[in-house]
Chains A and B, each alone.
Chain A
Amino acid sequence: MTMALSDLSDLPGSSDLLTRVLREQQTLRTPVALFSDEFDSQSVRDRFTHLIPLSKPNPGEQYAFQVNLDACTGCKACVAACHSLNGLDEDESWRDIGLLVGTRKQPYLQTVTTACHHCEDPACSNGCPVLAYDKDPVTGIVRHLDDQCIGCSYCILKCPYDVPKFNLKRGIVRKCDMCQGRLAEGEAPACVQACPNEAIKIQVVKRSEVPDRGQIIPGAHDSSYTRPTTAYVSSKPVPETAKPADSSRLDLDHGHPPLAWMLVLTQMSAGGFLGAALAPLSLNEAALTSSAALLFGLTGIALSVFHLGQPLKAWRAFLGWRKSWLSREIITFGALPVCGIVIAVAWWHGDLLMLKLAIGGSALAALGAVACSVMVYADTRRPFWSPAMTGGKFFGTTFLLGASLCAVVWSWGSVYVLPWAMTLTVVLRWMVSIWELSRYRQALADESCAWHKSARILQKHHARHIEWRGVLLIMTGLVIPVVIAAGAPPPWMLTSSLLLTFTSQLIERHYFFTACHGPKMPGN
């Protein structure tokens, strides 16, 4: 329907006007001088004095958020104000709003504003390997030291309220600091300033009186873990049926691929060392087996660096050893290269006893590292990562891949204990898988199971992966052994079996993270 541009061609002044208008549009003539200095509104300091404490906390006290649920009616201004007044990134805010809904007969609707709870026993801080958290001794504010952070994200896994958030652009975590600089000057935090209904206040609480049981709000994690200081108050009791509006969501968590690789490789390494230590091997056989174990272990450790947002600062990772299992895991991993050197020296000397001792020590160190790995996750108190589940998976992987690795190395070297390793591999293959699968079926069927949600996430998002793992199980637990029995060359068959088993464990480790369903405050 294009028509010729016609009769207007000789319109006088068009280009003049167009130029003028386009220029005018780009000119800012805000009458700044006229009135920007004209008003001097009541300063922020005076307007909110009734919402913040007048003096600093006494010893044994700290600052805490108090939220009046009656006044929190869902406007979400606090979220926007936190973002805006703190100069955060486009999608970043340290406050969030969730919704509690009632079901069955009782209509109920309650929006819940939430930020960092500045816990009395902050899990983020306890887990940090580099001491990048500081609980201010005077104010009790749990502050994150952005320049100390190595971006390992462990605090994200440790916090049961989903407070610290990874900032991809900067490779670190950032979180709410209760606008401590504002409070220090007698100004209210951004969220307190922004709430139209004055629902958010800062109060001083006695540290000893911060609740260590129950939940701060339905849907929140049990307070015994971190002793969160935020208090939600309401004139109307929250009904028992109330639950977070997003409670039926089955979302995937972050997959942390470098960690998945690291865990499987280091566990295979530990199993390899164990095999090398236990089997009656010759000097060269023992050296070869332990070298293979060492190689995979070091590869795993190297890969884990890709997990860090600030790897250059990772040298400080030992600092948190007093409380952080991650710090301890990293320290134990640090023993591996040392073990490698000792093993090499023993082999160079041709001293079988010394080599055996070195390998035995390495095996212990590596198993210790696996134990630390288990604790890293168990310490997050996430049901899917319970000590039993994580321990079973990690040590199961250790023994299974260890046996499998030994079988491969020994098959190429024609070691006479090979049949033992082969048998053990097959037995473990079935044991670990049957254990895992039965736990999964159980959790899926039992709604009261602590990790029922994770089981449903597995079912919803990973059904295909579980099927693939079933195929891999048949391949490695049945087909390959039968083929070997029928006379196929063991070295090649066993190597394939190791690769396939490794793949299977890697898949499991992927959904170990994605299906974890970390606890959080009520969402939308």
Chain B
Amino acid sequence: MLTFPAINFREWSGPLTADLVRKPAKFGLGQLPARRMPDATTKAVCGFCSTGCGLNIHLKDGAAINLTPDPDYPVNIGTACPKGWEALSVLDAPDRAKMPLLHGKEVGWDTALRYFCDQMKRILDQHGPEAAAFLSTGQIMFEEMAFLGALAKFGMGMIHGDGNTRQCMATAVTAYKESFGFDAPPFTYADFEESDVLVFIGANPCIAHPIMWQRVLRNPRSPEIIVVDPRTTETAMAATQHYAIKPKSDLTLLYGLAHLIIQAGGVDQAFVRASTNGFDEFAAFAADFTPERVAAETGIGIEGLRHFAQTIMNGTPRVSFWWTMGVNQGHQATRTAQAIINLALMTGNIGKPGTGANSITGQCNAMGSRLFSNTTNLLGGHDFRNAAHREKVAKATGIPVERIPDLPSLAYDQIIQAADEGTVKAIWFVATNPSHSWIDQNEMNRILGKLDFLVVQDMYCTTETAKRAHLVLPAAGWGEKEGCFINSERRIGCSPKVRRAPGQALADFHIFRLIAHYWGCAEVFREWQTPEAVFRVLQRCSEDQPCEITGIEGYDMLRRSGGVQWPFRKNQHQTSKIQNSERRLFEDGSFFTPDRRAVFCFDKPVPAPELANDRFPFVLMTGRGTSAQWHTETRTAKSEVLRKMIPQDLMLELNDQDAAALGIRDGQDVRVISKRAELTAKARLTACVKPGEVYLPMHDARVNQLTHASFDPLSRQPSYKHSAVRVEADLTSISLQRRAGARTCVRPSSSQA
């Protein structure tokens, strides 16, 4: 842009200066760029992670032009992570799916929907109700999840459907169900602020849940912050105690801590006797986990173990335990989560302020998926196998009971296995990208190639999975549709439609309505006209369940109140209390099991399925890269600002000593090789990973080609945290340097593998 000079020596103002002028805005927003002045605002809940931050959407002529974090929302109190700040800009990406794509060619919706129904009907008719399945997500609104689950199972007659929540939360679900009698994370975010001791196990909230970390730093009690993680993460750096255990020795560590606490008399006997079952058996079991054994297996010294246990005892009754993917994605994940629950139960650290065995969820609507996706559970946390539950849900939804299958779904990995064996012939993926994210990705892609019919319903037509699809259905994204999310602390929040979707992209909700119509089962779903109508159906389904939400009057109430945590029953009309209080579960020591007692669940630790060996001497761990990246980056990579925040290359974290032994220097290209695949990354030498361990962020599509597919037998969650790899200097780059006459190679001073 060429501008002409003014007739003076210094131009203090002009068009380029005006470009950046900020002016006072209304709505308590302070100064905003004059070019982006809102004429109204509305509130939304962020659609990335499970923190569930409130966002003020700035509107102009009804459409969103910008956003700021909502200072009045009880979750985030006016802040957001960069993903939230950029939630609108990723909607403008040029690779948004704008029309249905049939074999890569744009077609009209009518053609696409007819094709979809034809294919699915053909496959279901020819091969039976188990031959087609859907795999959905924790990223869409739960009214949509419920519609998908109900449409597929009650309308189209499928048996199997699961979600990508299998990759993140299945373990917490299974653990809570068995231990508490219901999938019920007991905590509220205020617990971060009210603990004297916070124990983070396999969690890196500084990066993965920065706004939860904000709550930790608001804790006025100068808490002890303990981090259990093989890596020195950002959170470990900020902690007061860090236990860098050997990868996947967490279960042993937790049993060892239980043993030390039992021995030291740290058990809350009154609580244990009144509110739990199985403690004595557990105590006897834990006795085998002597400090000597645990020290040897975890790599933590005996003194360290004692200090850890003592810190928990000193902090009781204000000790909270928090876990995420480091625990959930393990080969004995459920038992590990339950070992954490056991610690909370035996010390009575539950149901009180600043306590709890607390699973931090992953996706924005993982909790909604757990309750209402109609996959593993029948709508509202019910059981497909239970005839009374089927009757109840039939009554609540108005769907004929005979349409409700009496079989629960196969788990994600079992559906994929069935596809490999040829019994599943069609899969409908909704808002998920397994061609990138699934463990042992090449195997996944091989199996996807065998399907007769692969449908992908997504915002973007360029995801790795969408590129393989026979049919792509273009979906509207967050902000382009309405509905509710449930966050980690069970808070239901509402998100409005503030943008027009590009082209003919449609809200998932609309797509399901259309499919119901084209399938010929619209009559079954005649009440399911709008997300809010479905919300009411689901409220009825939740009746008398621990997750009952019948007291919520509607979307307006959710908007007004800053979200409502479940349970919220019809007679629970203490409106002032919902707004200001953060509610936790089990305050009365009563759980959701038939005898109202929590259960101690435990099992012997076994070694990880793929151990480091002579050929592959390193343990590869994978996980979050930066706070600016989300899963397979289908959205976050579309924001140029977010892209600025991430390293330009895939970085392999490698210990200095290993690097020295391998002759690898910082920033050098290295090959990372597993039994399954290999990739090239740049070495980042750091003492933050221990010798023998390496770390790769999961966002690069190549990383899951390396990972070894093993699953927790109880939750069927993939174990992303323990694969064996070999690391080699990339010889091509070295030979280039040699050729150019380098004499600068740093010779390692020490060498120890």
Contact = CB atoms under 8 A, between A and B. Distances in A.
Interface of A: 1-3, 5-8, 11, 13-15, 17-18, 21-22, 24-26, 28-32, 34-45, 47, 70-71, 73-77, 79-81, 83-88, 90-93, 96-97, 101-111, 131, 145-149, 169-172, 174, 179, 181-182, 185, 187, 193-197, 245-250, 310-313, 315-316, 319, 444-445, 447, 452, 456, 459-460, 463, 524
B648 interface: yes
Nearest to B659: A103
Interface in B42-80: 42-43, 56-57, 59, 62-63, 66-72, 76, 78-80
B730 to A, nearest CB: 14
Given A86-B22, A110-B237, A182 B28 contact: no
B752 to A, nearest CB: 12
B627 to A, nearest CB: 5
B210 A102 contact: no
B501 A31 contact: no
A106 B42 contact: no
A170 B18 CA distance: 13
B666 interface: yes
Given A80-B85, A147-B12, A18 B514 contact: yes
Contacts of B732: none
8 contacts: A25-B476, A28-B63, A32-B59, A44-B28, A77-B210, A107-B236, A147-B16, A182-B22
Nearest to A311: B2
A14 B746 CA distance: 71
Nearest to B111: A5
Interface in B70-127: 70-72, 76, 78-82, 85-86, 89, 103, 109-111, 113-115, 117-119, 122
B110 A76 contact: no
Given A1-B452, A30-B57, A104-B656, 15 more contacts: A6-B118, A7-B118, A18-B110, A26-B501, A31-B559, A36-B41, A83-B85, A87-B36, A102-B686, A145-B12, A148-B12, A185-B31, A194-B69, A248-B666, A313-B11
Nearest to B79: A196
B33 interface: yes
Interface stretch (B149-157, B572-580, B602-610, B638-646): B638-646
A458 to B, nearest CB: 9
B414 interface: no
B737 interface: yes
A147 B14 contact: yes
B688 A109 contact: yes
Given A34-B556, A93-B644, A171-B1, A8 B114 contact: yes
B734 to A, nearest CB: 12
B16 A146 contact: yes
Contacts of B647: 245-246, 524
B517 A80 contact: no
Interface stretch (B306-314, B492-500, B586-594): B492-500
Contacts of A77: 79-82, 85, 210, 627
B685 A30 contact: no
Chain A interface helix/strand/loop/mixed: loop
Contacts of A91: 640-641, 643-644
Contacts of B68: 84-85
A524 B648 contact: yes
A259 to B, nearest CB: 20
Given A80-B85, A147-B16, A3 B518 contact: no
Contact of B31 (A13, A182, A463): A182
B687 A146 contact: no
Interface of B: 1-6, 9-17, 19-22, 24, 27-36, 40-43, 56-57, 59, 62-63, 66-72, 76, 78-82, 85-86, 89, 103, 109-111, 113-115, 117-119, 122, 206-207, 210-211, 213-214, 217, 232-238, 244, 452-453, 470, 476, 480-481, 496-501, 504-507, 510, 513-514, 517-518, 520, 556, 559-560, 626-628, 640-648, 656, 665-668, 684-688, 737, 739-744, 746
Contact of A5 (B3, B24, B118, B453): B118
**Which of A85, A170, A459 counts the most B-chain CB atoms under 10 A from its CB?**
A85
A74 B207 contact: yes
A30 B59 contact: yes
B12 A47 contact: no
Contact of B213 (A41, A75, A90, A169): A75
A21 B110 CA distance: 12
Contacts of A73: 206-207, 210, 213, 234-235, 237-238
Contacts of B453: 1
Contacts of A14: 110, 113, 517-518
Contacts of A194: 69, 79-80, 85
A30 B31 contact: no
B22 A79 contact: no
Contacts of A92: 641
B122 A245 contact: no
B688 A90 contact: no
Contacts of B480: 25
A90 B740 contact: no
A18 B214 CA distance: 45
Given A79-B641, A195-B79, A310-B3, A28 B29 contact: no
Contacts of B79: 77, 194-196
A182 B23 CA distance: 9
Contact of B86 (A37, A80, A96, A104): A80
Nearest to A446: B744
Contacts of B238: 70, 73
A43 B25 CA distance: 10
Nearest to B645: A76
Given A444-B742, A524-B646, A75 B206 contact: yes
